[in-house]
Chains A and B, each alone.
Chain A
Amino acid sequence: MRVIGLKLVLQIAVLAAALASSARAQERMGPARVGGLEAKLEYCKTCHGLSGQGYLGWFPMPRLAGQQPEYIEAQLKAFIERRRANPVMRNVAHVLSPSMISALANHFQHLNPPPFGGAPRGSIATGKKIYEEGLPESNVPACSACHGPDGHGQNEIPRLAGQVYPYMVGQLSGWAKERGQGTSVDTSAIMAPTAHNLTRSQIEAVAAYVSYLH
């Protein structure tokens, strides 16, 4: 005869409580939507585009499709820890468990819709030159050195190819306002001097160029 120990009873109780609370959340929702990865992905895609291509709401929502998983993970953690200041994303991210963060990050890398488009085309050539050669006189390294010649990034360095133009412009021109907040070490510091040294028209040129890469 198997004796049911206290540990097992406690584990069952915890499981029952978890199931009960998720059932309450379902009652509160409209048609029953089971929690979990699929529902969370649909939630992300509501704002970031149904194929992860980005969306222009009141804020520009960036492309997540094809993004480096390590970068997405790092950003979600930065939102939670308030190293990256964004009221909408902090709210979104703080309910995510570490395993959910990994699962979400790994999902988006396989999506590959065409770029969102819409950027002005006039300065693409200038943008390409800056992207491939940098601006030595302004202490701006070539973007391609880290982000790759095709803009796909690697490890924690994000993909830029096909990124939403107004989002890129906003990030580069307001880098220090959003990123690297607080006192803890943050890898975004590496971009701070580069973003600072680019002029507005150079930012717009580079952003336009990468927004058309695929």
Chain B
Amino acid sequence: MKRIGLKTASLAIFAFALSTLSCWAGEIAAVRNCTWCHGTGAQGYTVAPRLAGQRPQYILSQIRSFHEHTRDNPFSIQYMWGAVASLGPYTARDLANYFASIPPRPANDGNGAWAARGRTIYMEGIPEANIVSCYACHGPNAEGIRDIPRLGGLAYFYIKARLEQWGQGYHSTPGSPMPLVATHLGAEEVEALASYLSFVK
């Protein structure tokens, strides 16, 4: 009878324990699937936006939007549609609450010279050009509420891309006023808003 070596046995036990651990703590594995792109602290990484500190209802509405293929900007189609395809509703809810609980860090990567103009547009809009005040929905500190997202501290490139995409006709969750809002924004206004918001704590 061949005796199983101590080294082999301990390796087998270790591997089994590890797989059991990751199956039992299911959300740990699911979080890794997100932070792979969205940054280890969920603070965002390159094109993937910060999830830390985001409104949980907003995260859930976006997950649903990816599931239903209503959010159709290019990176959503390329990455997010597949990423959430097998995400169940309870895990989604747990993930949303988990990310919401992480304190957000501002990206601080906008153009400082534009930030003051961005703040004015954010708080007041430009009524002469029929640009609405962002503050009315997103709050005085761009913190969001319910399913309206926190914009404060999101990356300059992400906000700029989203505002431009709505202007180009890409869709959001059904019923969102954002496509209408963003269509009126000129290039200068987009620069100013994206810069200002990237600095907001």
Contacts and interface: CB of A to CB of B under 8 A. Distances in A.
Contacts of B136: 47, 57-59, 61, 88
Nearest to A56: B146
Contacts of B59: none
Taking each of B139, B182, B185, B186, which has the highest tally of chain A beta carbons within 10 Å of its own beta carbon? B186
Given A57-B136, A91-B124, A33 B130 contact: yes
A30 B167 contact: yes
A30 B148 contact: no
Given A25-B129, A92-B127, A30 B184 contact: yes
Contacts of A35: 130
20 contacts: A28-B129, A28-B189, A29-B129, A29-B131, A29-B184, A30-B167, A31-B183, A40-B130, A43-B132, A46-B132, A47-B132, A57-B137, A58-B136, A58-B139, A58-B148, A88-B133, A88-B135, A92-B125, A92-B133, A94-B127
Contacts of A31: 167, 183
A42 interface: yes
Contacts of B138: 57-58
Interface in B88-137: 124-125, 127-133, 135-137
A95 interface: yes
Contacts of B182: 30
Interface string A6-49: 00000000000000000001011111010100011011001100
Taking each of B130, B135, B181, which has the highest tally of chain A beta carbons within 10 Å of its own beta carbon? B130
Given A30-B167, A43-B132, A88-B136, 14 more contacts: A28-B188, A40-B130, A43-B130, A47-B136, A55-B137, A55-B177, A57-B137, A57-B138, A61-B136, A88-B133, A88-B135, A91-B124, A91-B133, A92-B133
Interface in B120-179: 124-125, 127-133, 135-140, 145-146, 148, 167, 177
Given A57-B148, A95-B127, A30 B132 contact: no
B137 A95 contact: no
Given A29-B186, A30-B184, A58-B136, A47 B177 contact: yes
Given A57-B148, A58-B135, A42 B167 contact: no
B56 to A, nearest CB: 17
Interface residues of B, number: 29
Contacts of B127: 43, 91-92, 94-95
Interface residues of A, number: 26
B141 to A, nearest CB: 10
Interface of A: 25, 27-31, 33, 35, 39-40, 42-43, 46-47, 50, 55-59, 61, 88, 91-92, 94-95
Contact of B137 (A25, A50, A58): A58
B17 interface: no
B18 interface: no
Nearest to B180: A46
A95 B177 contact: no
B3 to A, nearest CB: 70
A30 B145 contact: no
Taking each of B128, B131, B136, B167, which has the highest tally of chain A beta carbons within 10 Å of its own beta carbon? B136
Nearest to A49: B177
A43 B131 CA distance: 7
Contacts of A61: 136
Contacts of A92: 125, 127, 133
A28 B137 contact: no
B183 A46 contact: no
Interface in B62-98: none
A46 B125 CA distance: 12
A59 B125 CA distance: 15
Nearest to B166: A30
B54 to A, nearest CB: 16
